[in-house]
Amino acid sequence: MSPSPRQHPSAPEHRIAFFQAFLRKPKEVGSIIPSSRFLMRRVVREARVDRARLVVELGPGTGGSTRALLRTMRPDATLLAIEINPRFARLIAASIRDPRLIVHAGSAEDITGALAAHGLPAPDVVLSGIPFSTMPRSLGLAIVREVHQVLAPGGRFVAYQVRDRVELLGREVFGPARVQTELLNVPPMRVYRWEKVQRHAQPA
């Protein structure tokens, strides 16, 4: 049984922070409402979070998705949450007390640097809720390439999005995605999943 993350009763503050951040930078936040528990159950299942030793979460927002991941993760697993919004990063670090969680304030474009900063190995899973559809194509492609580079062989990349931009970018790097739609979310979300192909050594 995974330990339950200890949390402060600050859900209203988190919702307000999320809404304010959306108003200031809608392209960065992407949605006015945090992800639903139904969406996160699907994401966790698709990523096989319960089997992972190291999970990287890109764009945890105010931490609702982070809590869902910690509830499912193994007791000996680690979650690295990379958040570009400093206020969100501080909220998560202050409200979730779980020894498995590392909060890193930084860009999803530099997962390699975040892993190195905390002495972490290649992750088994990378999850992303960041809005690829609102960022420049070059940045989105750079992030997907970075995900592919850092993932352990056989690792999974799962992205949940309203639009299909990430599917087009992911196809260039990973190949075709497995796609599902979660209707019990506002707005409905598509969940894309890729696996990093394990390359076997060629016989001598």
Task: For the chain, give every domain's residue range.
Answer: 10-195
CATH of domain 10-195: 3.40.50.150
Say what the alpha-carbon torsion angle 79, 175, 167, 183 is, to the nearest 10 degrees: -70
Mean pLDDT of the chain: 86
**Residue 45 CB partners (closer than 8 Å, separation 6+):** none
Which pLDDT band, with edges at 50, 70 and 90, does 49 fall under? Answer: very high
Length in residues, the chain = 204
Cα→Cα distances 54→121, 122, 125, Å = 8, 8, 7
58 pLDDT more than 50: yes
pLDDT at 186: 85
Q: Which tokens is 190 given?
A: 């598509």
- Does residue 165 contact residue 140 with C-beta atoms inside 8 Å? yes
From residue 149, alpha-carbon distances to 23, 50, 60, 82, 157 in Å are: 33, 22, 21, 16, 11
The pLDDT of residue 9 = 39
Supply the pLDDT for residue 37.
87
Q: Which segments of the chain are extended strands (E)?
A: 6-7, 54-58, 78-83, 96-97, 101-105, 125-128, 156-161, 178-182, 189-195
23 has a pLDDT exceeding 50: no
User: What is the per-residue pLDDT for 18?
Assistant: 43
Its pTM stands at: 0.82
Which tens digits make up the pLDDT trace of 109-146? 999 999 999 999 999 999 999 999 999 999 999 999 99
d(CA 182, CA 201): 39
Rounded to an integer, the average pLDDT of 173-187 is 94
Distance CA 203, CA 115 (A): 32
CA distance 88 to 162: 21
**91, 10 in Cβ contact below 8 A?**
yes
Work out the burial of residue 50: count CB atoms within 10 Å of its CB; fewer than 13 is exposed, 13-18 middle, 19 or more buried: middle
3-state helix, strand, coil in the chain (%, to 5): 45, 20, 35
pLDDT tens digits, one per residue of 71-103: 999 999 999 999 999 999 999 999 999 999 999
144 CB-contact burial (10 Å; exposed 0-12 / middle 13-18 / buried 19+) = buried
If one compares 35 and 70, the residue with the highest pLDDT of the two is: 70
Q: How confident is the model at residue 51 (pLDDT cuts 50, 70, 90)?
A: very high
